[in-house]
Amino acid sequence: MDRPVNGRFRLLALDIDGTLLRSDKALSPRTRGAVEAARAAGVRLVLVTGRRHPSARKVADDLGGEVPLVLHNGALVMEAGQVVQVRPLPRAAARRAVLAGRAQGLQPVVHRGLRGEGHLVVAEDARGSRLVSYYLDRNGPDVRVVPDLLEVLEEEDPIQVMFGGPREEMDAAHPLLAAALREEARIERTVYPQNGVVLLDVIGPGVGKAEALAFLQGRWGVAARETLAIGDNWNDREMLARAGL
């Protein structure tokens, strides 16, 4: 087992948006320098994010070297470009989430790709949704528009089902979704105060950033007390508790 290289920490777990990156999605010279100094001292780096693989990979590539990734709030873990753990959302729970969201006037975005493909699936009648329009505009090649979203869910278990919109609307929907799903799934909430948007990510039961970090700690032989985790949002809370600082 490796010995601590700086007297305490051997693993640095960083959220991406709002932590590693500024609100303008840029990596500041100061932050880049701090990350490079930690890596030069022998501290292992992992990015822990709610992002899909294609967008998280761009950030990792900008940092240089091999950077393991925890994606979809812990549902997918990749190392050296390979999936080392995947915990999909059972399709029955995904179906229930879609129906429960639609009952509240929400349009779901289904994330698929158990090998990190980062595919997005939306229904034809969802084009008027602010969130769906955002993904169609920015991730066109990765988006599949289908006439029947529920039919697609029968093909394979997805990674997650996502809902998003104005904070007031999503905060009202959150407890209703949770009541509909009960123990079948978990809902991670991410708040973007700069634009008043909230995302609700429906993932598998027992899935989360903290659980994925624990998996990597065990895989790499790193204790929680030797882990430094940094995040800024609601979906980071349990990960922070899993670290020594």
Return the CATH number at 221: 3.40.50.1000
Question: Is 119 within a domain?
Answer: yes
Question: Is 6 within a domain?
Answer: no
Q: Read off the CATH number of the domain in which 183 is found.
A: 3.30.1240.10
Question: Is 215 within a domain?
Answer: yes
- State the Cα torsion 237-238-243-245 to the nearest 10°: 20
User: Do 79 and 104 fall within a single domain?
Assistant: no
User: Do 40 and 123 fall within a single domain?
Assistant: no
Q: How far apart are CA 145 and CA 152, in angstroms?
A: 10
User: Do 162 and 77 fall within a single domain?
Assistant: no
Question: Is 145 within a domain?
Answer: yes
- End-to-end alpha-carbon separation of the chain, Å? 21
pLDDT at 232: 96
Tell me which residues of the chain have a pLDDT lower than 70: 1-7
Q: Which residues contact 69 (CB under 8 A, 6 or more apart)?
A: 46, 47, 49, 53, 56, 57, 60, 76, 77, 78, 79
Tally of domains within the chain:
2
Q: How far apart are CA 232 and CA 101, in angstroms?
A: 26
Question: Is 17 within a domain?
Answer: yes
Q: Which of 23, 30, 37 is nearest to 228 (CA)?
A: 37
pTM recorded for the entire structure: 0.94
Question: Is 137 within a domain?
Answer: yes
User: Do 74 and 133 fall within a single domain?
Assistant: no
Order across the sheet with 69-71: list the strands: 82-86, 76-79, 69-71, 44-48, 11-14, 227-230
As a whole-number percent, the residues of the chain with pLDDT over 70 amount to 97
- Do residues 14 and 27 touch, judged by C-beta distance below 8 A? no
User: Do 96 and 177 fall within a single domain?
Assistant: yes
How does DSSP assign the chain, residue by residue? -PPPSSSS--EEEE-TBTTTB-TTSPPPHHHHHHHHHHHHTT-EEEEE-SS-HHHHHHHHHHH-S---EEEGGGTEEEETTEEEEE-PPPHHHHHHHHHHHHHTT---EEEE-TTS--EEEEEGGGTTSHHHHHHHHH-GGGEEEES-HHHHHTTS--SEEEEEEEHHHHHHHHHHHHHHHGGG-EEEEEEETTTTEEEEEEE-TT-SHHHHHHHHHHHHT--GGGEEEE--SGGGHHHHHHS--
Question: Is 173 within a domain?
Answer: yes
User: Do 97 and 198 fall within a single domain?
Assistant: yes
Instruction: Give the pair of three-digit tokens for residue 7.
Output: 């007297």
User: Do 155 and 57 fall within a single domain?
Assistant: no
Q: How far apart are CA 140 and CA 222, in angstroms?
A: 39
Question: Is 123 within a domain?
Answer: yes
pLDDT at 130: 75
pLDDT at 7: 59
User: Do 235 and 138 fall within a single domain?
Assistant: no
Domain that holds residue 54: 11-86+207-242
User: Do 105 and 182 fall within a single domain?
Assistant: yes
User: Do 134 and 150 fall within a single domain?
Assistant: yes
User: Do 32 and 47 fall within a single domain?
Assistant: yes
User: Do 113 and 189 fall within a single domain?
Assistant: yes
pLDDT at 123: 92
